[in-house]
Amino acid sequence: MRRIFITTICLIASICVSSSAETNQDRMTWFRDARFGMFIHWGLYAIPAGEWKGKQIPGIGEWIMNRAKIPVAEYEQLAKQFNPVDFDAERWVRTARAAGQKYMVITAKHHDGFAMFHSKVSKYNVYDATPFHRDPIAELAAACKRNHMPLGFYYSQTQDWHEPDGNGNTWDFDPAKANFDKYLHEKAIPQVRELLSNYGPVALIWFDTPRIITEAQSKELADVVHTLQPKCLVDGRIGNDKGDYRSTGDNEIPVKVLDYDWETPVTTNDTWGFKTSDTNWKSAQTLIRQLVDVASKNGNYLLNVGPTSKGDIPKPAIERLQQAGAWLKTNGAAVYGVKPSPYPYEFNWGSVTAKGDRLYLGVVEWPKNGSFELYGVSNRVRKAVVLGEKNSPLKFKQSKTDGHDALRLEVPSNAPNPDVSVIALDLEGTPSVNTELVQQPDGRVTLNCALGKLPAETKLKVSNRGITSGWLDTSEKVQWDFQLYRPGSYQVLARTTPQRGGGGWETSLWEQGNELQVTIGDKKISHALGNDGKIADARNPLTPDIKSQLGVVSLQPGAHHLTVEALKIGSERKLGVRLREIELVPVSE
């Protein structure tokens, strides 16, 4: 009797688990361990590769149909030329594997509406409409299965420039007549069902540009995914907060640890889909540094490649992937399966990750004087080593200087690794660190707006990167508490960030005529924001900040409270104060 009861309970429980009762937490496990994935943007747009009728079309390659306003009837003709004879799914998967990437995501259908899989829902697909007459998604799924590589599909659920009822094509169709719900139910959902029914286990569906999708529609779509494959993840761009995890803006790395699951999609050059003219490749060093930094903030790094119309991943991308793979071979322990940094803020020298009783210090700026210092670790350190170095462990000393924990490591005078050198610290117990904002060993105090306090009634918004927007009113303020350890004179710097323009740094916008006031205890300084130089942001090297000196204050050690306000706000560009950080830099005697 009792046994029957238990069996029944188990049966009910297992039914629940195998349906959509699979919780978000269950689904996320592999994703949290993976940290590094390969994104593939591949479609008909690889044929024009950025050029239409002899003209270079500005912007990202996969948007060419939109940017050049190519009529559906003309764009469709590209299908007849699509014949990627070099396509070899096994080789792509091996490339990803050798790069240390733990999942792959490929465009099953991008905004152009062309399915890169054999779809029964629409003849506008790679199997039926091209001389290739193969299903690359099926081939990739098989290769991924052989190599135990999780595979996900990008699916553009809202924009579809091929369909009158899809969103985005304003040059062929009248948006006022579009019935988006019809498109969603007659093309998007049926195709998503195909993807989840015909290709084995799907790791995730990467929806994008939610735009006009309603909350009910996003939910319906997420439910379709989770009902067909309870383990399949849905990214945040499904819209209306219905994803299992969130995506940042493209190529955007947040300034602090985020307490939810997230991923940043990143281009290796400046385009997603292949574009012949785009040779602006990020260095392998930049990519490796970003990967470690993203992991330290609890995110995943989804690095894109845009294969050619022949089916080849461009050589510069392959080279960078190989370099990332080589770095990860030695240093992967600092990336895979790690927890984010226990510190809420960034370090100027690099990024921290954690696993069990270990802290990994990913050092980008290696000290020149043979000594590396870290404040705030209260555990006893058992051992310190540099990953990949056969030498004896590093010598170190822990002390309580001026009442705070300080760790000093003796390190080689040259960086062991030019990209990121990883110091692994074995601790007694799981890391316990001081999470207050404190003066760093180099004497600086960095106060990012994402870590500051805003007034209760504020119109200010602070972006993921810690940049304020909407600061158009002199009643606004940002405040911080911090600990200073050393008395002295400090230059007060403001770092503001220009608004990105369409064409890189030269076209970025920066407000003139802002004046800030900084109050620390009973000391007040104010200064107009001048352009005192550009400072590169090591994490986001493409968008440097502008540094402005506000004045010098002399401070005693102890707890301090700092308030920044705007006394004047420039009105020319209506950008307000785009403040990222206030920094105190010791004035050398």
Question: Closest separation between CB of residue 239 and ligand JFZ, Å?
Answer: 11
In contact, 523 and 476? CB cutoff 8 Å: no
Question: Closest separation between CB of residue 140 and ligand JFZ, Å?
Answer: 18
Which of 539-571 are b and which e, b meaning 16 or more Cβ less than 10 Å from the residue's Cβ?
A: bbeebbbbbbebeebebeeeebebbbbbeebbe
Smaller CB separation from ligand JFZ, 218 or 331: 218
Q: What is the dihedral of CA 504, 507, 512, 517, to 10 degrees?
A: -10
Smaller CB separation from ligand JFZ, 250 or 532: 250
Smaller CB separation from ligand JFZ, 45 or 366: 45
Smaller CB separation from ligand JFZ, 244 or 565: 244
- Phi/psi-derived region of residue 311, left when phi > 0, alpha when psi is between -120 and 50, beta in every other case: left
Question: Closest separation between CB of residue 110 and ligand JFZ, Å?
Answer: 6
Smaller CB separation from ligand JFZ, 45 or 327: 45
Residue 550: phi and psi, rounded to 5, are: -105, -20
Question: Closest separation between CB of residue 454 and ligand JFZ, Å?
Answer: 23
Question: Closest separation between CB of residue 324 and ligand JFZ, Å?
Answer: 19
The first and second tokens of residue 506, run together, are: 């030269």
Tell which residue, 247, 274, 282, has the closest CA to residue 45: 274
Question: Closest separation between CB of residue 172 and ligand JFZ, Å?
Answer: 18
Tell which residue, 451, 440, 548, has the closest CA to residue 494: 548
Question: Closest separation between CB of residue 293 and ligand JFZ, Å?
Answer: 18
Smaller CB separation from ligand JFZ, 203 or 303: 303
Smaller CB separation from ligand JFZ, 249 or 513: 249
What SS3 string covers 172-196? CCCHHHCCHHHHHHHHHHHHHHHHH
In contact, 288 and 419? CB cutoff 8 Å: yes
Tell which residue, 581, 587, 444, 453, has the closest CA to residue 516: 581
Among all residues, whose Cβ is closest to ligand JFZ?
249
What SS3 string covers 236-268? HHHCCCCCCCEECCCCCCCCCCCCCCEEEEECC
Question: Closest separation between CB of residue 587 and ligand JFZ, Å?
Answer: 39
Smaller CB separation from ligand JFZ, 464 or 514: 464
Show Cβ contacts of residue 471 under 8 Å, excluding neighbours closer than 6 positions.
460, 566, 569, 576, 577, 578, 579
What residues make contact with ligand JFZ under the rule CB under 6 A? 60, 62-63, 208-209, 249-250, 265, 272
